[in-house]
């Protein structure tokens, strides 16, 4: 199946002067930004930034010229793509600056952003999605529970700093939580900064806890240059309040929304994602079921669910999923003990939320099987 790797092989040596930045480039850059290039690239917006080729090779050398995973669910193939792109004429000359990474476990904030400067001086600001840290995954719950986290403020601050430091037009985007942050930043930045943003990419990023943002004048203004992609069985990009503005991308993995979240499974025809007419039945079921769970469960129970998960992982002393995977034999017993020690009221909320998820997925799936599922749903 044609995907990012196919695109890199076919178009990797075609310069941007012949083939302008496109949706496939957006997918490729967002995918490789999961590799922690902040280990070799500076956080400052430099006056003479180095290239993607330079930093990719520096990162590769840092790991003894071995492909390394970015996390338990972020496999080595992403590192392989990064190195491959560093040897391609199209990508190697892209300059990178302002590579920032911030983790605050106390306040549950996981944030990373970087600016990729194209040969025509257009700046592409990318926000990283949820990384391998437990902190990052817990922040995803906080986006639903609190509506706003520390990453939202950091996302706005970053685009303001980038536009102040760099000349030229901007594109802004991200994958998963990164796509959510890109959209939020575009909606919340200053009017002066927003006027310089010519395109916004949200790649399977979730919606907002507060649906009123979709009814704002600012949202209406950005729609002409806003591109929201979700795979056909999306499990994340349709969570919470979202408009029906998305384009559905065909994935090489049928039915499995969690696996389809990986951009590497998205099919690309030439330089464009393969677009389908509508979501698969699984995608519709997940969207409707999650909306029903939110309405039925309420934020308080979700907070209890989130707290139990966080404390359970803390009992295993695992700050990232990769560490958990490597120590699973000893970590699981610790987590079981940690779960048993949780506050009884929170455990009741945990099981109530779990039951609500299972019940609503089953109920919505049964409605779909009978042909009674109503979609799209009102947001």
User: Are residues 359 and 220 part of one domain?
Assistant: no
Q: Is residue 86 part of a domain?
A: yes
Number of domains in the chain: 2
Quote the Cα angle for 18-21-27, to 5°: 135
DSSP result, 54-111: HHHHHHHHHTTT----SBTTB-HHHHHHHHHHHTSHHHHT-EEEEEEEEEETTTTEEE
The whole-angstrom separation of Cα 351 and Cα 183 is 33
Q: Is residue 358 part of a domain?
A: yes
Q: Give the mean pLDDT of 58-73.
A: 91
Instruction: Give the pLDDT band of residue 378 (cuts 50, 70, 90).
Output: low
Residue 117 burial (10 A CB sphere; 0-12, 13-18, 19+): buried
Q: What is the pLDDT of residues 264-316, one digit of tens each?
A: 999 999 999 999 999 999 899 988 998 899 888 888 888 999 999 888 888 88
* Number of neighbours of residue 5 by Cβ within 10 angstroms: 16
Q: Is residue 270 part of a domain?
A: yes
User: Are residues 355 and 211 part of one domain?
Assistant: no
Q: Is residue 324 part of a domain?
A: yes
User: Are residues 322 and 224 part of one domain?
Assistant: no
Is the pLDDT at 335 greater than 60? The verdict is yes
Q: Which residues of 62-74 are buried (b: 16+ CB within 10 A; e: fewer)?
A: eeeeeebbbbebb
Q: Is residue 376 part of a domain?
A: no
Q: What is the pLDDT of residues 347-372, one digit of tens each?
A: 899 999 999 999 999 999 988 888 88
User: Are residues 112 and 83 part of one domain?
Assistant: yes
The whole-angstrom separation of Cα 361 and Cα 340 is 27
Q: What is the pLDDT of residues 218-236, one digit of tens each?
A: 999 999 999 999 999 998 8
Domain boundary at 225, 255, 279, which? Answer: 279
Q: Give the mean pLDDT of 152-181.
A: 97
User: Are residues 52 and 177 part of one domain?
Assistant: yes
- As a whole number, the mean pLDDT across the chain is 92
Domain boundary at 250, 279, 308, which? Answer: 279
Q: Is residue 375 part of a domain?
A: no
pLDDT, residue 377, reads 64
Weakest mean pLDDT among 108-117, 138-147, 156-165, 196-205:
138-147
DSSP result, 291-346: HHHHHHH-HHHHHHHHHHHHHHHHHTT-SBHHHHHHTHHHHHHHHHHHHHTS-HHH
User: Are residues 316 and 185 part of one domain?
Assistant: no
User: Are residues 129 and 98 part of one domain?
Assistant: yes
Residue 151: closest CA among 102, 219, 89, 197: 102
Instruction: Give the pLDDT band of residue 241 (cuts 50, 70, 90).
Output: confident
Domain range holding 302?
287-370
CATH number of residue 268's parent domain: 3.40.50
Of residues 74 and 355, the one with the higher pLDDT is 355
pLDDT, residue 338, reads 87
pLDDT, residue 257, reads 65
Domain boundary at 244, 279, 314, which? Answer: 279
pLDDT, residue 339, reads 87
User: Are residues 294 and 203 part of one domain?
Assistant: no
Q: Is residue 379 part of a domain?
A: no
Q: Give the mean pLDDT of 239-258.
A: 84
User: Are residues 274 and 291 part of one domain?
Assistant: no
pTM for the model stands at: 0.94
Instruction: Give the pLDDT band of residue 319 (cuts 50, 70, 90).
Output: confident
User: Are residues 49 and 13 part of one domain?
Assistant: yes
User: Are residues 204 and 330 part of one domain?
Assistant: no
Q: Is residue 352 part of a domain?
A: yes
Three-class DSSP category at 233: coil
Residues whose CB is less than 8 angstroms from the CB of residue 83 and which lie 6 or more positions away in sequence, other chains included: 56, 57, 60, 67
φ/ψ of residue 235, rounded to 5? -110, -15
Is the pLDDT at 256 greater than 80? The verdict is no
User: Are residues 304 and 173 part of one domain?
Assistant: no
């Amino acid at each position: 199946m044609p995907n990012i790797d196919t695109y890199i092989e076919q178009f990797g040596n075609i310069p941007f002067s012949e083939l302008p930045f496109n949706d496939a480039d957006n997918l490729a850059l967002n995918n490789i930004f999961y590799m922690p290039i902040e280990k070799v690239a500076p956080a400052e917006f430099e006056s003479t930034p180095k290239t993607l080729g330079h930093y990719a090779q520096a990162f590769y050398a840092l790991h003894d010229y071995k492909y390394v995973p970015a996390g338990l669910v972020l496999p080595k193939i992403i590192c392989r793509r990064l190195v491959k792109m560093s040897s391609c004429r199209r990508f190697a000359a892209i300059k990178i600056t302002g590579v920032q990474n911030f983790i605050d476990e106390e306040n549950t904030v996981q944030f990373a952003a970087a600016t990729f400067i194209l040969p025509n001086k257009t700046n592409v600001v990318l926000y990283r999605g949820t990384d391998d840290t437990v902190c990052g995954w817990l922040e995803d719950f906080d986006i639903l529970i609190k509506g706003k986290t520390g990453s939202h403020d950091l996302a706005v601050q970053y685009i303001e700093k980038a536009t102040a430091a760099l000349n030229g037009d901007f594109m802004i985007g991200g994958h998963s939580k990164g796509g959510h942050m890109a959209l939020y930043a575009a909606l919340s930045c200053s009017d002066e900064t927003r006027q310089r943003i010519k395109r916004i990419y949200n790649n399977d990023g979730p919606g907002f806890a507060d649906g009123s943002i979709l009814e704002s004048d600012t949202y209406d203004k950005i729609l002409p240059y806003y591109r929201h992609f979700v795979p056909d069985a999306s499990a994340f990009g349709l969570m919470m309040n979202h408009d029906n503005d998305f384009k559905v991308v065909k994935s090489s993995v049928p039915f499995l929304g969690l696996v389809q979240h990986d951009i590497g499974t998205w099919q690309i025809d030439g330089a464009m994602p393969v677009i389908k007419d509508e979501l698969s039945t699984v995608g519709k079921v997940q969207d409707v079921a999650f909306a029903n769970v939110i309405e039925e469960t309420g934020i308080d129970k979700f907070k209890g669910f989130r707290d139990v998960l966080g404390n359970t992982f803390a009992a295993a002393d695992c700050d990232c999923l990769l560490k958990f995977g490597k120590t699973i034999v000893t970590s699981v017993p610790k987590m079981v003990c940690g779960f048993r020690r949780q506050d009884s009221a929170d455990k009741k909320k945990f099981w109530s939320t779990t039951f609500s998820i299972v019940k609503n997925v089953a109920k919505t799936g049964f409605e779909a099987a009978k042909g009674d599922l109503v979609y799209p749903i009102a947001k």
